Amino acid sequence: MSETPKPLNKADRNKIIFLTIAIVALLGSNAYLYFKDKHENERYVTANTEKDRLKLEVEKIEVELDKTNAINLSLNDKLIKEQDLARQQIAELKSRLQKGQLTRGELLAAQKQISELKEYVSNYNQEIARLAKENSNLKSERDSLVKSVKTINDKATQLAEENADLNAKVQTGAALKASNIQIQAFKIKRNGKNVEVDHASGAKKLLVTFNVVQNTLAKKDYHNIYLRIFDPAGNLIANQNDMFEAEGQEMQFTQMITISYNDDDTRYEMEWLNPSEFIKGNYAVILYADGYVMGKASVTLK
């Protein structure tokens, strides 16, 4: 026959209950610490992930802000100050995000500041784009005005040239012209009488006579007539101090008279006394009036 177990006394039962409670408490404590450590680790990993994400957001904001510097645009003082403030905030955020571990409050503050910066940079870029568009429109208007001004100036220059050319033609057309130019050589006798000759020896003066062609464009006024005489060697016979202007240059003249032009085909004469001896050969004369050649003729002395 088997023995009947002895019943546990009260003291033993208390010990077993105590040990059971202790084991359960220990297991509960270990479970609490395990789940607490796991939660803390997960929270730490989540915080680091959020910090890295915020770093990336800050870098994106800085890149967006840098894009505005690529636009060749003159910023006003307000925009410059706003950009400087934004860059200062970005630098502060970067510095804070470089810390090893951020509190939940610091992360929330960084998130809020980044959100504000994103909104600012978005508005800032829109303002820059608007100003760039305005500048582009102003540049187009300026280029258009410059082109218009150039066109007007070119047209004015063309008109001025055409006007100058027309004036030159009018002046040329209004200049007096000579016709029927004749040259005679004379010797002067002791009694003062002039005798026409065709030999150089004994000749003392030349007489140039001419008519002025009728010209309705010519001024009915006093006109200076200039005579230039060239000897057979082609030398101009003139006083170096006797000057006039014709065909855009200063010239010496041999003789000058002033006539009153009335558009009536009057015949005029110019007399020139040779201070030297005449030589055999051809003497050429050119008449000028109003800055242009009036006519040419020549005479040959034997």
Selection from 64-68, 102-106, 126-130, 248-252 with the highest mean pLDDT: 248-252
Selection from 295, 298, 127, 301 nearest residue 213 by Cα: 295
Segment among 58-62, 171-175, 271-275, 280-284 with least mean pLDDT: 171-175
**For range 200-213, the mean pLDDT:** 88
Q: What is the mean pLDDT of the chain?
A: 76
**Dihedral sign (CA 159, 163, 164, 165):** positive
- As given in the structure block, the two tokens for residue 58 are 């800050």
- As given in the structure block, the two tokens for residue 175 are 């200049």
Q: What is the pTM for the complete model shown?
A: 0.48
User: Does 38 score more than 60 pLDDT?
Assistant: no
What pLDDT, on a 0 to 100 scale, did the predictor assign at position 163? 63
Q: Say if CB 290 and CB 172 are below 8 A apart.
A: no
User: Does 93 score more than 80 pLDDT?
Assistant: no
What pLDDT, on a 0 to 100 scale, did the predictor assign at position 1? 47
What pLDDT, on a 0 to 100 scale, did the predictor assign at position 189? 85
Four-CA torsion 263, 267, 268, 274, nearest 10 degrees: 150
What pLDDT, on a 0 to 100 scale, did the predictor assign at position 11? 64
What pLDDT, on a 0 to 100 scale, did the predictor assign at position 49? 75
What pLDDT, on a 0 to 100 scale, did the predictor assign at position 286? 92
pLDDT band, residue 37 (cuts 50/70/90): very low
**For range 66-95, the mean pLDDT:** 68
**For range 75-96, the mean pLDDT:** 71
What pLDDT, on a 0 to 100 scale, did the predictor assign at position 227? 92
Selection from 118-122, 190-194, 232-236 with the highest mean pLDDT: 232-236
Percentage of residues in the chain with pLDDT exceeding 70?
A: 69
What pLDDT, on a 0 to 100 scale, did the predictor assign at position 41? 41
User: Does 43 score more than 90 pLDDT?
Assistant: no
User: Does 168 score more than 60 pLDDT?
Assistant: no
Q: Give the span between the Cα atoms of 244 and 252, in whole angstroms.
A: 6
**Which residues, at least 6 apart from 235, have a Cβ–Cβ distance to it below 8 Å?**
none
CB atoms within 10 A of CB 193: 9
Selection from 44-58, 97-111, 122-136, 152-166 with the highest mean pLDDT: 122-136
What pLDDT, on a 0 to 100 scale, did the predictor assign at position 285? 92
What amino acid occupies position 268?
Y
